């Protein structure tokens, strides 16, 4: 049963559009594909419409997750079509050398973080193996894969890549490090010290649509628990903020938007007249980045209010995602100041050439031919992205505030996941039964 907004479908300016598809509750329910998933994906492929999977799930490398997804969906998914909860963490590998990474099975997340370029990656089991007394009630001995943590090791940042299997040990580790003297495990910061240990969660989902018929607690629940625990120390310590880089924050959506644009450029061909050549690099020199972004954002229509029955009457104007964990500020993780927006998956030399490029582009001269084709307003070739999700707080709210640099994001809420009437819809452009109905609705709207 498709309940679209009561507003007439909007007349879209011509231009390319794409899709961002959520996984749990949209394409999959636990290990099982939704009956309409394969048909929906095939329809996009047959029509040459770019799509990416944008999930708050994680715990495997993008390549391994794609293998698993291609099998489950009986449809080929490639790593350039997948943004997991921790994929945007790649951007932070240059800023933080020694990290604690929490979550997932075994040392999968350590391997992922090392693949992203983090130099020294520890996991909670390493600290437990180094001194089992840190977790006195842990029923099982440290695993064989655990590594020793040299005395005096300083942790620069904490990343939670996926829901931890052992909340007690993981929460203990995070609390100990947040209270430590500058990230050195086993020490305590002076009361009122200025120490702040960057702590990034990659998913604020309180629940998710698993195989069980009632949604299960997600990484967001763990974040709430840790938030309450560290709040007890916040009086003694300086500001503590648990940051987030997964949906609904802009990191996830920007990453997905960049992948869709790369896909479009590959389809259009670099010589396409739609790709305006200009001396400004695709990352835009810092000077005009903000101007460009603001101008583009101002021009973007906000999604219509969803007046369908059961939807709240609240305005479509999205409110910034509120970080629910007490004692934490809700600011989004400030990404490291990369010299140029890194193209996801760009190799180090490409990134560094991009950064050189950003400098030379600022003062172009006849000889400084850019090492790669500069595209101004690269995102202008992507006019719209339809986010199809089942979680109003992460998928719908995140998409409704993701419009950026000439690309409008609109959201479609499905009934196949965690949401059901009369819960708050967070103002999608339409409420539909499932992913196929969502794809049909959007494609009809693009006619
Ligand atoms: O752990 C996965 C869950 O939080 C939600 O995943 O695919 O619905 O964003 P997804
Ligand atoms: Mg979902």
215 lines ligand 1 (CB under 6 A): no
Whether the predicted pLDDT of 285 surpasses 70: no
Atom of ligand 1 nearest to the CA of 22: 7
- CA-CA distances (angstroms) from residue 187 to 136, 171, 209? 18, 17, 40
Residues with Cβ within 8 Å of 110's Cβ and at least 6 positions away in sequence, in order, are 101, 121, 122, 123
Instruction: Indicate if ligand 1 lies below 6 Å from the C-beta of 416.
Output: no
CA separation for the pair 393, 395 (Å, rounded)? 6
Q: Is the CB of 25 under 6 A from ligand 1?
A: yes
Which residues are near ligand 2, the ion (C-beta closer than 5 Å)? Answer: 22, 24-25, 390-391, 417
User: Three-state SS for 307?
Assistant: coil
CB of residue 88 inside a 6 A radius of ligand 1 = no
pLDDT value at position 193?
76
Residue 53 has pLDDT above 60, yes or no: yes
Q: What's the distance, CA 115 to chain centroid? A: 17
Is the sign of the CA dihedral 428, 433, 434, 435 positive or negative?
Answer: negative
The chain-wide mean pLDDT, for the chain, equals 79
Q: Quick one: which of 368, 348, 344 has its CA closest to 358?
A: 368
Q: Ligand 2 centre from 198 Cα, in Å?
A: 27
Q: For residues 194-216, give the mean pLDDT.
A: 91
* Strand pairing category for 120-122 and 98-102: parallel
Give 253 Cα–ligand 2 centroid separation in angstroms: 14
- Give 385 or 310, the one with higher predicted confidence: 385
416 Cα: distance to centroid of ligand 2 (angstroms):
9
Q: Is the CB of 227 under 6 A from ligand 1?
A: no
At residue 191 the predicted structure's pLDDT band, cuts being 50, 70 and 90, is confident
Rounded to whole angstroms, the maximal C-alpha distance in the chain is 68
CA–centroid distance, 217 to ligand 1, in Å, is 11
Return the percentage of the chain with pLDDT > 90, whole number: 62
What is the percent of the chain with per-residue pLDDT over 70, rounded to a whole number?
70
Does ligand 1 have an atom closer than 6 angstroms to the CB of 208?
yes
Q: Please tell me if the CB atom of residue 246 comes closer than 6 angstroms to any atom of ligand 1.
A: no
Flag whether the pTM goes above 0.80. no
Q: Which residue's CA is minimally distant from atom 2 of ligand 1?
A: 57
Output 380 or 188, whichever has higher pLDDT. Answer: 188
Rounded-to-integer distance, Cα 183 and Cα 153, Å: 8
- In testing the pocket of ligand 1, which one of 208, 321, 419 has its CB within 8 Å of the most ligand atoms? 208
pLDDT-based confidence at residue 28 (cuts at 50, 70, 90): very high
DSSP per-residue string spanning 86-102: TGGGGGGTTT-SEEEEE
Distance in angstroms (rounded) separating the CA atoms of residues 222 and 158: 14
Which ligand lies nearest to the CA atom of residue 418 in the structure? Answer: 2
- Partners of 33 in the beta sheet? 28
How confident is the model over 272-280, as a mean pLDDT? 53
CB 22 near ligand 1, within 6 Å: yes
Give me the DSSP letters along 162-173. Answer: S--S-HHHHHHH
Q: What is the b/e burial string over 150-169, where b = at least 16 CB atoms within 10 angstroms of the residue's CB?
A: eeebbbbbbbbbbbbebeeb
Q: Which ligand is nearest to the CA of 58?
A: 1
Between 314 and 256, name the one with better pLDDT.
Answer: 256
User: What is the C-alpha separation between 243 and 333, in angstroms, rounded?
Assistant: 5
* Closest-lying ligand 1 atom to the alpha carbon of residue 162: 1
CA of 206 to the centre of ligand 2 (A): 11
From 223, 196, 213, 224, select the one nearest 85 (Cα to Cα): 223
Would you say the CB of residue 57 lies under 6 angstroms from ligand 1? yes
Q: How many Å is the Cα radius of gyration of the chain?
A: 22
């Amino acid at each position: 049963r498709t309940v679209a907004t009561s507003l007439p479908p909007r007349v879209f300016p011509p231009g390319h559009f794409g899709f961002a598809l959520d996984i749990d509750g949209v394409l999959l329910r636990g290990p099982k594909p939704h009956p309409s998933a394969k048909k929906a994906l095939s329809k996009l492929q047959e029509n040459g419409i770019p799509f990416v999977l944008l999930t708050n799930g994680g715990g495997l490398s993008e390549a391994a997750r794609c293998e698993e997804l291609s099998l489950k969906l009986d449809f080929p998914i490639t790593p350039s079509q997948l943004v997991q909860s921790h994929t945007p963490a790649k951007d932070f590998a240059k800023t933080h050398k020694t990290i604690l990474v929490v979550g997932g099975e075994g040392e999968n997340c350590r391997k992922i973080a090392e693949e992203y370029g983090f130099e020294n990656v520890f996991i909670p089991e390493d600290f437990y193996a180094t001194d089992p007394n840190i977790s006195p009630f842990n029923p099982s001995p440290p695993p064989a894969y655990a590594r020793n943590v040299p005395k005096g090791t300083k942790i620069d940042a904490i990343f939670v890549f996926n829901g931890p299997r052992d909340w007690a040990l993981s929460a203990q580790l995070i609390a100990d490090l947040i209270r430590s003297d500058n990230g050195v495990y086993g020490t305590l910061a002076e009361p009122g010290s200025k120490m702040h240990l960057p702590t990034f969660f990659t998913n604020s989902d309180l629940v998710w649509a698993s195989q069980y018929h009632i949604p299960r607690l997600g990484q967001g629940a763990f974040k709430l628990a840790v938030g309450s625990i560290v709040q007890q120390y916040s009086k003694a310590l300086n500001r503590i903020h648990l940051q987030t880089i997964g949906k609904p924050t802009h990191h996830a959506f920007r990453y997905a938007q960049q992948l869709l644009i790369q896909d479009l450029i590959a389809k259009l061909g670099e010589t396409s007249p739609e790709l305006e050549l200009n001396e400004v690099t695709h990352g835009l020199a810092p000077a005009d980045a903000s101007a460009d972004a603001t101008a583009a954002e101002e021009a973007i229509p906000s999604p219509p209010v969803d007046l369908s029955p059961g939807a709240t009457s609240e305005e479509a104007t999205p409110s910034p995602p509120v970080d629910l964990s007490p004692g934490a500020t809700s600011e989004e993780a400030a990404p490291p100041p990369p010299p140029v927006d890194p193209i996801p998956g760009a190799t180090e030399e490409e990134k560094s050439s991009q950064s050189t490029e950003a400098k030379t582009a600022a003062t172009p001269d006849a000889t400084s031919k850019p090492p790669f084709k500069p595209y101004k307003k690269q995102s202008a070739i992507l006019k719209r992205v339809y986010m199809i999700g089942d979680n109003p707080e992460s998928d719908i709210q995140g998409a409704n505030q993701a419009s950026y640099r000439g690309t409008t994001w609109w959201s479609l809420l499905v009934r196949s996941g965690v949401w059901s009437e009369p819960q708050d819809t967070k103002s999608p452009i339409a409420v539909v039964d499932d992913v196929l109905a969502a794809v049909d609705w959007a494609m009809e709207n693009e006619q």
